[in-house]
Amino acid sequence: MTRRIRLIADDYGLAPGVSAAILELLDRGRLTGTGCMTGFPEWPDAAARIKPLCGRAAVGLHLTLTDQPAVTGRSGLAPGGRLPPLRSLALPVLRGGIDARDVHAELDAQYNRFVEALGRQPDFIDGHQHVHFLPIVRTWLRGHFSDAGGKPALRGAPALGHAAVAPKVAAIAALATGFNQSMARAGFSIFRPLAGIYDWRQPERFAPVLQAAVEALPERGLFMCHPGHVDETLRARDPMQGVREVEFTVLASDAFGASLARAGVEIMDGKG
C-alpha cells in the first residue's frame, strides 16, 4: 500500500535563486509545497510566479520575526527597522520584554502581503526558525483565525529520537511544548510529525536524514527542507547558502526518485 508524505520547502521569496529552485522542484513533483516569506521587495514577482500553482501545490506563509527587514519598519520589535536575531527575540518575547502589539502588527503585515498578492489565504502557516511555536505567535494565530472554519494548517512539533540531531531537535521540541494539542483544540489541523532537522553546516547529512524520513515517516508525515540556488541576493541575506544547492541536487535526483519507489512512498500534492 502506498504511503504518502509531505515535503515542504521553506523560504520561498527569500531570494530569486531560492524561489527558482523551489519552483523547479514543484514542477518535477518533488515537493508538496512551500512556505513563503513575504517581506522582501521581490515578493510581488515571486507571488506572480507561484500563483498558477496554487491548488496543485500547498502554498503557505513562512512567518518571519528574525534577521530580516521588518515589513512594519521601526518598532519595539525592530528598533532599527530590522528584525532581531533569534537569541535576541526568544527570551525577551517569553518574558514580556517586547510589546505583543508590535509582534502582531508585523505578523498582520506579512499575512496581508500574502493575501494581497495571491488573492487567497495560505494553505498552511509555519515559521522561520520555528517562531510560530512562540506563545506570542500562538496567540496571534488563535486571534487572527477565530472563525470556526477556514483555518490554515500549521506545521507541528518535530519527531524525537534521531540521535545525530537530538540536541537540536530537543530544543525545538521544548519550544513547541503543547503546540500540537493547544492549536488542535483551537480548530487548526496540524502537519505532523515534523522531520528534516539537521545541522545544515554539515551538508553531507541531508541525504541520510531525507532517506531516514522516507523510510520512517507515517502517512501524511512532514519533511521540511531548504533547497535553493545561491545568488547575490541570498549571499546578502542569509548564511544558509551552499547547503541549499546540496538539498536541491538531492531532491531533484533520479536516486531520490528511486528511493521513493523502493519504499512505496509518494510525495503528496497540495490537494492532500
User: pLDDT digits over 139-185, tens only?
Assistant: 999 999 987 668 999 999 987 654 445 778 888 888 899 999 999 99
Q: Tell me the three state secondary structure of residue 189.
A: coil
In a domain, 272, yes or no: no
Q: For the whole prediction, is pTM greater than 0.85?
A: yes
In a domain, 184, yes or no: yes
In a domain, 181, yes or no: yes
In a domain, 132, yes or no: yes
CATH of the domain at 162: 3.20.20.370
Q: Kindly tell me the sign of the dihedral angle through the C-alpha atoms of 84, 86, 92, 95.
A: positive
Domain extent for 114: 3-267
Residue 48 C-alpha from the chain's centroid: 20
In a domain, 100, yes or no: yes
Model pLDDT for residues 41-91, shown as the tens digit of each residue: 999 999 999 999 999 999 999 999 999 999 999 999 999 999 999 988 977
Residue spans of beta strands (DSSP E) within the chain: 3-12, 33-36, 58-63, 124-127, 153-155, 190-191, 194-195, 222-225, 265-267
The pLDDT assigned to 231 comes to: 98
Q: Kindly tell me the sign of the dihedral angle through the C-alpha atoms of 182, 188, 192, 197.
A: negative
Model pLDDT for residues 223-239, shown as the tens digit of each residue: 999 999 999 999 999 99
Work out how many domains the chain is built from and give that number: 1
In a domain, 165, yes or no: yes
- Whether the pLDDT of residue 240 is over 80: the answer is yes
